Amino acid sequence: MGADLAARFRQSRECFERASNVLGYDLLDRVARASPDELKETRLSQPAIFTANVAIYRAVATLGMKPIVSAGHSFGEYCSLTIADAIDFDEAVRIVNERGLAMGEAADISPGLMAAVIGLEEAAVDDVCKRARAESGARVDIGNLNTLTQIVVSGDAAGVEAACEIAKELGAKRVRILNVSGAWHSTLMEPAMPRFSRAVTSAKLRVPSFNVISNVTAKPYSSVDEIRSCLLASLCARVRWHETAIALAKFGPDYIIECGASEVLAPMMKRLAEARSAHIVHVADADGLESLRSEIGSLTA
């Protein structure tokens, strides 16, 4: 969670120090002491993951590469907007924290589940959700479109469980309930909107200094109003990651670097035809950073 780089890089350590000042508690200490159940709780995980990702990026930035485009999955988009100077870091911590608190409250009101469905395409999973809603009388819909055949459904427990069974019947290669504390990117998050809307409406935003691609539109942001609108919509809307990843790759970056504690997006990028010309790497700690430094050095020698 960025602790290794925070111990070695002033730029990374400052991220945790500034986040702690905004949050009112020592974030590094809180994460180090948290149990697995506490870490998956969105009230802690959102500010923690946001800060760790930006801290990792700040260390990567010491290598001197120039960013031309960025995108983040779900609230990872706040990391992209922050490194592109569309949101000040402290402001982003405040917004992400409010997002986590608001979504946690919504999950308390409407508990739900998310499940990954592997091996079925979007149209088939849409049909799965339609059948599950009819059979269970509960809410369930697509939450994340990660790849053409890796799709996450989100909704009431009964609806998601029904969708899982139907997906298996239709030949899904794998179906797995995710270890999350709520039904993110679904209508169950609507109770979070009033609190979160206040945070986004009051935020000071700017047009990004380089391209940042929205999960909602799968296009680069072009105005502050568009950023504000998409941040609000993304609370309940599908994460269109597959399209977002293609849009990012089409900018033709030499390197596509995933900055995060876990390697999740880089493997997806490696399977994209549009990204085959890029060096795709994941950096989570000092070892990963040194590996990237060596690779850059060997290519430029």
At 120-155, the pLDDT tens digits run: 999 999 999 999 999 999 999 999 999 999 999 999
**How far are the Cα atoms of 27, 32, 65, 248, 296 from residue 210, in angstroms, in the given order?**
29, 34, 13, 12, 22
Q: How confident is the model at residue 298 (pLDDT cuts 50, 70, 90)?
A: low
CB burial of 73-103 (b: ≥16 within 10 Å; e: otherwise) equals bbbbbbbbbbbbebbebebbbbbbbbbbbbb
Look up 279 and say whether it is catalytic. no
Active-site residue, selected from the candidate residues 73, 136, 154, 185: 185
196-207 burial string, b = 16+ CB within 10 Å, else e? bbebbeebebee
pLDDT at 267: 94
DSSP secondary structure string for all residues of 175-233:
EEE---SS--SSGGGGGGHHHHHHHHHH------SSEEB-TTTSSB---HHHHHHHHHH
Q: What is the DSSP letter of 275?
A: G
Domains of the chain plus CATH, in order, are: 3-107+188-300 (3.40.366.10), 112-181 (3.30.70.250)
- The one catalytic residue among 74, 197, 229, 291: 74
- pTM above 0.85? yes
Alpha helices in the chain (DSSP H): 3-8, 10-23, 27-33, 36-40, 42-61, 76-83, 89-109, 122-136, 157-169, 193-202, 224-233, 241-249, 265-270, 286-300
Confidence of residue 301 (pLDDT cuts 50, 70, 90): very low
Mean pLDDT of 112-120: 97
Structure confidence at residue 4 as a pLDDT band (50, 70, 90): confident
Q: How many CB atoms lie within 10 A of CB 16?
A: 24
Task: Quote the CA–CA distance of 262 and 278 in Å, as a whole number.
Answer: 20
Q: Check pLDDT > 70 for residue 300.
A: no
More confident residue, 131 or 45: 131
Specify whether 110 is catalytic. Answer: no
Question: Could you tell me the CA-to-CA distances from 58 to 83, 89, 136 in Å, in that order?
Answer: 8, 12, 47
